[in-house]
Amino acid sequence: MDALIGDGHVEERDYIAPGILRRVVARFPTEHHLNQFASSVRQVSKLLGTRAFRAANGISITDFLRN
């Protein structure tokens, strides 16, 4: 996850259990950075068989790794 953040920064992380990320709130310097991050997280999520959701405010990625 940290490698995907790039020029952005994480404001909040929510874990279901130790090492299992459920929600990330991140900020990015441009809309392009945000869109690239969201696209990458969705691709990784599909590979893991989970669901990524981009919140309406455009800064939250939730349920990244959901059981």
The answer to whether residue 67 scores a pLDDT higher than 60 is no
Domain ranges for the chain: 2-20+27-56
Three-state DSSP string of the chain: CHHHHCCCEEEEEEEEECCEEEEEEEECCCHHHHHHHHHHHHHHHHHHCCCCEECCCCCEEECCCCC
- pLDDT bin (cut points 50, 70, 90) of residue 61 is very low
Q: Which residue has the higher pLDDT, 3 or 57?
A: 3
